[in-house]
Amino acid sequence: MDTLRKYIILSKPRLVYLLFFTGFAAMVIAGSLYGYDWLKIIVLSVAIILGVMGSNAMTNFIDRKIDGIMDRTKKRAIPSGKIKPRDALIYAVLMVAAGTIMAGIINIWSGIFILLGFLDSAIIYNAVAKRRTPLNIILGAPAGGLPVFAGWIGITGKLELLPVMLFLLILIWTPIHIWSLAYFYREDYRKAGIPMLPVIMKKKKVYILLAVLNFVMVGFSIYIGYLYSLSLIYLISSAVLGIIIIFFGLKLIVREEEKIAWVLFKLTSPYLAIIFIILVIEFTVIK
């Protein structure tokens, strides 16, 4: 059991939960519009979980040296010696392969999207861009939205505007989430030689950038409700949640305190999860 726990931790379960849920939510919404096929939903859910777990494990394998340098990550399974790099690599490849094949059985494009998520997250972002450009997370952000595509096309057999909108929402959300974390741990990133944007940009510009992105994310969330004529429940809920996010973004500009960046980082995941929960309720219960 201890070995299993180590490999689960290697897979970054909190991130797995969130990305799985966005894909699952997309499948439920698609089912509400086109009819539920729970066997497909279950198989695709497992495929997404395996694919994300494998991708996360591969990023830990690729980042093992810099993880050993950074205080935040030096206790992770590979740098701490709990899991050998070779074993982590084999585990990651097997998980991604299993997820891709399972999804591909349902729909070839679902498998392709899971594989693309792995390639974008592990290879383009972690192996290539992370160490070379401060815009690295912009290149890695699409990986977070691809479970939505994998789930939606697996149920409907086609892509439409709604999953594209959900994908774009995640695309906007990702740099807010990552840059808030990177700003709080910027000394760690600087020590490891990782040129995250908050590491090389002046503090005030970082605060303004995060605040602007917060406005864009909240506005886009509300626009989705307007575009699909969702109820006041969604519009009010997304607006209230948005006000909280925007408040902390503006507070960061005024107070210039690192702990506010940490609070903003902590709020971003629940924000995205709650928006997707309300969307599921809208399409399955209210509409």
Per-residue pLDDT at 168: 97
Task: Report the alpha-carbon distance of residue 129 to residue 134 in Å, rounded.
Answer: 8
Q: State the pLDDT at residue 259.
A: 83
Computed over every residue of the chain, the mean pLDDT equals 92
The SS3 assignment for 78 reads coil
Q: How deeply is 112 buried, as exposed, middle or buried, from its count of CB atoms within 10 A (0-12, 13-18, 19+)?
A: middle
Confidence tier at 1 by pLDDT (50, 70, 90):
low
Statement: residue 257 has pLDDT above 80: no
- Cα separation of 181 and 67, whole Å? 15
pLDDT tens by residue, 22-75: 999 999 999 999 999 999 999 999 999 999 999 999 999 999 999 899 888 888
Report the SS3 class of residue 59.
helix
Q: Confidence class of residue 249 from pLDDT cuts 50, 70 and 90?
A: confident
Q: What is the Cα–Cα distance from 205 to 253, expressed in whole angstroms?
A: 9
- Answer whether residue 129 shows pLDDT above 90: yes
Task: Please give the span between the terminal C-alpha atoms of the chain, in angstroms, as a whole number.
Answer: 45
> What is residue 184's predicted lDDT score, i.e. its pLDDT?
84
pLDDT at position 199? 87
Domains of the chain: 1-159 (1.10.357.140), 160-287 (1.20.120)
State mean pLDDT over 188-204: 89
